[in-house]
Chain A
Amino acid sequence: MRTVTLTLKAEPPVSAEAEQLIPDVVAGKTAEEVRRLPLLVGNRRETVGDWFDVVVDEAEAAAPDLLLRGDLVRFKRLGEGMSRGAMVVEGRVGFHAGARMSGGSLTIAGDAGDFLGAHMAGGRIIVRGDAGHYVAAAYRGEKTGMKGGTIVVTGSVGQMVGARMRRGLVYVQGDAGDVAGYNMKGGTVVVGGAPAARVGARMVRGTVAVLGGEPLELLPTFSYACTYAPTFWRVVHHELARVGHAPRVGPGVTFRRYCGDVNEGGRGEVLAAQPG
């Protein structure tokens, strides 16, 4: 098992775009080859070696394929488009981390910027910290955001989590900002804490499950349907437990179900977990 370890030498003065830093690209490369990979810093094309110390060494089987160390908050597009392998970032990351990824796992031990996992199609992202706006969302103008995979954020997220997502699972252990699940077409967003205003606005289908309980600031275009213990929650709970982040409410919890957004056909649902 080979691990490529990149340690940030110094924080760049401007944003950098680091879409080359994914296991798919660095796999099989020597340290020198990794150093020569391009890195767009501001509007200048530089190399990975200009900003990182690169070490390629043999490691135990559990070690990641790519390990980045340092405060990478100015590095955008980390893990973008990755399709395999394990990538770990020990520090904060910038915008678009894990965007368009289709496989593998991305673990971020720190906060993530906006558009985390945007257009994600598969794989898993774990963020041990907070994430910005538009987690799992669609980019501007696009019809569909996340299409598959799992995202877990142990902290809170900003606005529009799951906007226009089509499939997949997003679990936010903390709170979510405004308009969680905006225009969702499918998939599941689980909010461990409380969402802010206008949850589920323009939902077409899909589920926003709120574990923090009521009262919810629901739009008038949502209506109460029933109180029940959905079977699918057992599946979601099992999946989250499998990735090591089992929700604090159990698999048999009861939810109040609200249907909406009736302006879009009313086939979406917001679930509010009931105490006990």
Chain B
Amino acid sequence: MLRVTNGRVHDPGNAVAGEVRDVWLDGGKVVAEPAAEPADVATLDAAGCVVFPGGVELHSHVAGSKVNAGRIMCPEDHVDHYRCRTDVTRAGCGHTVPTTYLTGYEYARLGYTTLFEAAVPPLTARHAHEELRDIPILDTGCYTVMGNNHLVMKVLSDPDEERRAARLRDLVAWLLHATRAYAVKIVNPGGVESWKWHGGPVDLDTSVPPYGVTPRRILTGLAAAADELGLPHPVHVHLNHLGVPGNVAVTLASMQALAGRRAHFTHLQFHSYEATRSGSYASGAPAVAESINQHPEFTCDVGQLVFGPATTMTSDAPMEFRLHHLHKDKWANSDIEMESGAGVVPMRYSPRQLVNAVQWCVGLELMLLIRDPWRVFLTTDHPNAGPFVAYPMIVRLLMDREFRREWLEKLNPRVRRFTTLHELDREYTLDEIATVTRAGQARVLGLADKGHLGVGADADVAVYREQGDRERMFAAPAWVVKGGEVVVRDGEVVAAVDGRPLGVDLGDPPPLAADLAEQFESYSSVRLANYAVEDAYVPDQVLIPCAP
């Protein structure tokens, strides 16, 4: 048994806001305070500290083929960023795309204990699970990319609405089960497939070859399927036109199309740009934030830009192609058969570059303008907008408006013409930080045992020493506890326990429909019998129940 005592507990999930109280942990769970003090209790004296639930990361790119491509093509990312092995940790390297072990250690060193890989095409799911298993300490899961999947689009092309919905629901269940994934991910719906056919960018109602379905139908169809299956996490949407000036129009239209259904909009910063008269970037954050504020069924994460090196990697292959032509730099591309695309382009964001400065402001504007912290989450879309190790600095930017102003002075001065960040005075409280970094994320993921410290919750706890400088405070937790075991002490990993894979309990989903199976066998590079990820790749997967 472990007791965390004398700390100020911030547990927004249980409406505990900075009360000094003890947290008791036993058997990997938070337990009620025992009537009599047990003999074998270990104590962490958290006087002068704040006690948070373990951090939950709902959108990051840490495992799978595109992440590996990023590692291979960026040796310069490794040479100055390496960690030697210690008695408990393995060696690792990489800053924007760290190796698997280092990814786990670095997340844990920030107080995170749960992590989701945000985009896995079914064909590479086996590889993604292998890498997720290598990530120590954190419980992990992944989302399956479906927005440009031929089988999905074929089903969606059925004119019979009722039959279409039923078949899509069965297909989504089958795909999730086959990939042992946690949620449905949509990336640039229809846009990737259109690009493969030499088509241009698609709007919501553009007909996409070869099946003639529209992005609107893909979005609404998959959102409905996720709802009908009762998946713990709603459909996880990367919208069309990422990074394009004026994309706020398609963002708002997509939100309108999904109104009334649960949906999570990811890295919304990249989708919240107005276009200036000259076609450059201006902030569209106020309009997007207002839309989120008006729709309680929506959640989002920001994808906050971090100045410095980044490695963009996404299933949005046309976006990466465009980025490559913009910078004339390294580019990796991958056509994932009938399922998706993918691309990788290394980047460096600069505060003096007006576009980057606008992007930086837009992310913070979204965080500050969306009123409900339970519906906006802190991410950097690691490593697309920057590496996750920048979280402590972003927390300080949210909590300290003077720090924000100091940074605004370092940006391209023209940024004030195109953004409203300099007008925003809001400062996040510790409770709100706890919400946007763990409680809210756990809730939208449907993880009832995570993101809070109530009795029965997982014994994942992060303890930070209170400091005026919030960046230093959140950069080196005093202790991080995972599953009841102390894994980080004073910002250093002291034990590398294994995390657990997370999945959804879909029961026994129906087999793939005969016509879809025939299409699969006709055009895929693998046989259907070899397609599904075997149980051996996700041993002891924790299955979260669905609520259809």
CB contacts between A and B, total, < 8 Å: 13
In the complex, chain A residues whose CB is within 8 Å of the CB of B73: 141
Which bucket holds chain B's interface residue count?
under 10
Nearest to A143 among chain B residues (CB) is B329
Is A139 positioned at the interface, with any CB of B under 8 Å from its CB? yes
In the complex, chain A residues whose CB is within 8 Å of the CB of B329: 143
Measured between C-beta atoms, what is the minimum distance from A261 to chain B in Å?
A: 15
Q: Restricting to B309-345, which residues have a CB under 8 Å from any CB of A?
A: 329-330
| Interface residue stretch chosen among B74-82, B398-406, B475-483 | B74-82
Measured between C-beta atoms, what is the minimum distance from B69 to chain A in Å?
A: 13
In the complex, chain B residues whose CB is within 8 Å of the CB of A142: 76
Q: Restricting to B415-447, which residues have a CB under 8 Å from any CB of A?
A: none
Measured between C-beta atoms, what is the minimum distance from A223 to chain B in Å?
A: 23
Measured between C-beta atoms, what is the minimum distance from A219 to chain B in Å?
A: 20
Is A248 positioned at the interface, with any CB of B under 8 Å from its CB? no
Measured between C-beta atoms, what is the minimum distance from A77 to chain B in Å?
A: 12
In the complex, chain A residues whose CB is within 8 Å of the CB of B75: 139-141
In the complex, chain A residues whose CB is within 8 Å of the CB of B76: 139-142
Measured between C-beta atoms, what is the minimum distance from B310 to chain A in Å?
A: 15
Chain B positions 52 through 87: 1 when the CB is less than 8 Å from some CB of chain A, otherwise 0: 000000000000000000000111110100000000
How far is it, in angstroms, between the C-alpha of A142 and the C-alpha of B73 when the chains are bound? Answer: 10
How far is it, in angstroms, between the C-alpha of A140 and the C-alpha of B72 when the chains are bound? Answer: 11
How far is it, in angstroms, between the C-alpha of A141 and the C-alpha of B71 when the chains are bound? Answer: 11
In the complex, chain B residues whose CB is within 8 Å of the CB of A139: 75-76, 79
In the complex, chain A residues whose CB is within 8 Å of the CB of B330: 141
How far is it, in angstroms, between the C-alpha of A140 and the C-alpha of B74 when the chains are bound? Answer: 8
Q: Restricting to B8-28, which residues have a CB under 8 Å from any CB of A?
A: none
Measured between C-beta atoms, what is the minimum distance from B21 to chain A in Å?
A: 45
Measured between C-beta atoms, what is the minimum distance from B90 to chain A in Å?
A: 13
How far is it, in angstroms, between the C-alpha of A142 and the C-alpha of B309 when the chains are bound? Answer: 12
Nearest to B84 among chain A residues (CB) is A43
Task: Name the residue in A139, A140, A141, A142 with the highest tally of chain B Cβ atoms < 10 Å from its Cβ.
Answer: A141
Nearest to B346 among chain A residues (CB) is A141
Measured between C-beta atoms, what is the minimum distance from B485 to chain A in Å?
A: 29
Chain A positions 141 through 152: 1 when the CB is less than 8 Å from some CB of chain B, otherwise 0: 111000000000
Measured between C-beta atoms, what is the minimum distance from B18 to chain A in Å?
A: 44
In the complex, chain A residues whose CB is within 8 Å of the CB of B74: 141
How far is it, in angstroms, between the C-alpha of A141 and the C-alpha of B75 when the chains are bound? Answer: 5
In the complex, chain B residues whose CB is within 8 Å of the CB of A143: 329
Q: Restricting to A153-189, which residues have a CB under 8 Å from any CB of B?
A: none
List 13 contacting pairs A-B, 8 Å CB cutoff, sorted by A.
A139-B75, A139-B76, A139-B79, A140-B75, A140-B76, A141-B73, A141-B74, A141-B75, A141-B76, A141-B77, A141-B330, A142-B76, A143-B329
For the complex of A and B, list the 3 residue pairs with the smallest distance between their C-beta atoms, beginning with the closest: A141-B76, A141-B75, A140-B75
Question: Which A residues are within 8 Å of any B CB, using their own CB?
Answer: 139-143
Add 10 more A-B contacts to A141-B75, A141-B76, A141-B330 (CB < 8 A).
A139-B75, A139-B76, A139-B79, A140-B75, A140-B76, A141-B73, A141-B74, A141-B77, A142-B76, A143-B329
